[in-house]
Structure 1
């Protein structure tokens, strides 16, 4: 019977998936390959082994996380368990909250959307009259 002790090291892509930073291991691998994840201030590869105490910088969309690895696992569990795997730095949490507030303020300006049927007809009339 295999022992139930936690592993001493875990692949970076597996840990990011288990810690719920990415929905699938494939997305975690793509992010690492795309340079969105740094391990201890250096680049990272999906098969790089993480250890307790390592520092990760993770860019996910417009969110940036700086976390310290507290525990290792290869299994994805509930969110409450996943949050116990890492500790986000205070500066990182404050910066994310400030960016969220900034996006909320800028959210009043809606991004450009495709014209609806009425607007398309109006554009055609305008172009035809020129």
Structure 2
């Protein structure tokens, strides 16, 4: 290859990192090795596979299924607007985003006055009762 010519192929894990689908290249490599990716409809488990322009990549990211077409091969991990130029999103846009069912936090009732932790004075009185000493009022 010529030193000044742009690359036409790149490792898939590296491309996913360039396109900002993963924070680290090793995270992209682990996800591919787990077999959660399809490249042109075939399940893949090798992160060193080459990404070529025009290939379609399908994978799950968070709670959505991503269908991505490789449009360009990057030369670096640049800012997000630059990374967005590397792919075309083919997944249908959902009319309403899927909401994850969240459980409500338990609602606590306010305690009545005096039903909480005993005061220092009340604790001393309890100690005196337990030891059999007479209660001295201060």
Q: TM-score, normalised by structure 1?
A: 0.71
- Deviation per CA, 1:51-78: give whole Å up to 9, x if none: 1000000212222110110000241100
Deviation at 1:111, TM superposition (A): 6.4
Q: Is structure 2 residue 24 aligned with structure 1 residue 24?
A: yes
Q: How does 1:1-130 map to 2 (within 5 A)?
A: 2-3=3-4, 5-44=5-44, 45-89=46-90, 92-95=91-94, 98=96, 100=97, 102-103=98-99, 106-107=100-101, 109-110=102-103
- Deviation per CA, 1:17-54: give whole Å up to 9, x if none: 00000000011011101122110000221000011000
More helix per residue: 1 or 2? 1
For structure 1, which runs of at least 5 residues remain unmatched after alignment?
114-130
- SS of the residue aligned with 1:75? coil
Aligned counterparts of 2:104 and 2:32: Cα–Cα separation in 1: 29
- SS of the residue aligned with 1:94? coil
- SS of the residue aligned with 2:68? strand
Moved over 6 A (4+): none
Structure with the larger RCO, 1 or 2 (CA within 8 Å, 6+ apart): 1
Asked if structure 2 preserves the Cα contact closer than 8 Å seen for 1:20 and 1:79, the reply is: yes
Q: TM-score, normalised by structure 2?
A: 0.67
Aligned counterparts of 1:15 and 1:111: Cα–Cα separation in 2: 40
Equivalent residues, number: 106
Deviation at 1:8, TM superposition (A): 1.1
For structure 2, which runs of at least 5 residues remain unmatched after alignment?
107-138
CA RMSD of aligned residues (A): 2.5
